[in-house]
Amino acid sequence: MDFIYPEANLIAGVDEVGRGPLVGAVVTAAVILDPNKPIIGLADSKKLTEKKREQLFIEIQEKALCWCIGRAEPEEIDEINILHATMLAMQRAVAGLSITPDFVLVDGNRCPKLSMPSQAVVKGDSLVKEISAASILSKVVRDREMVALDKTYPEYGFAKHKGYPTAYHLEKLAQHGATKFHRTSFAPVRRALAAKD
């Protein structure tokens, strides 16, 4: 199925990475691509190899008309919940674009409140190249943060599971308790903290 684009000149694609993990920020990206500088191979970031994502990450930053990373930190996620934090991070990404888009396409089934028209696109990261680009930027940024966090807290294995609630992560959480980067409102983290008390 081909996606029918809205009638607009400057379309930004928005996607997020990191709603499910127990640790770290939820990271979003907004991207306006340059029609005169096509990028080959854009796809849902989850379907690309890490090497391919890293290559496209550089190419998107070089060729896009503009792009911006938005985020919401663990404290914000714990305060307003993951859904609201994701919407906030998306608003920040769009607000940070150096060019104001006419229209915003958002991956998923809901849009944040924005000052311009927007549309939610289910499976947008596979259907809309602007959203694919945003998914690649946000995934590479977040994965790099998890690799960096792994160097500070090697015992949790963040570089491997990227903060998702894998059996290994849950085992280490039970063993070592939570770091200050864990989301304390998420049940597995709450349980680990309660067990430590």
This prediction has a pTM of: 0.95
Q: What percent of the chain has pLDDT over 70?
A: 98
Residues in the chain: 197
How confident is the model over 110-164, as pLDDT tens digits? 999 999 999 999 999 999 999 999 999 999 999 999 999 999 999 999 999 999 9
Supply the mean pLDDT for the chain: 96
Cβ-based neighbours of 73, under 8 Å, separated by 6 or more: 25
State both tokens at 174: 């039970």
pLDDT score, position 192: 85
How confident is the model over 6-40, as pLDDT tens digits? 999 999 999 999 999 999 999 999 999 999 999 99
pLDDT-derived band at 195 (thresholds 50, 70, 90) equals confident
Alpha carbon distance 16, 29 (integer Å): 7
Name residue 14's amino acid: V
Cβ-based neighbours of 98, under 8 Å, separated by 6 or more: 66, 68
Element (H, E) at 187: helix 187-196
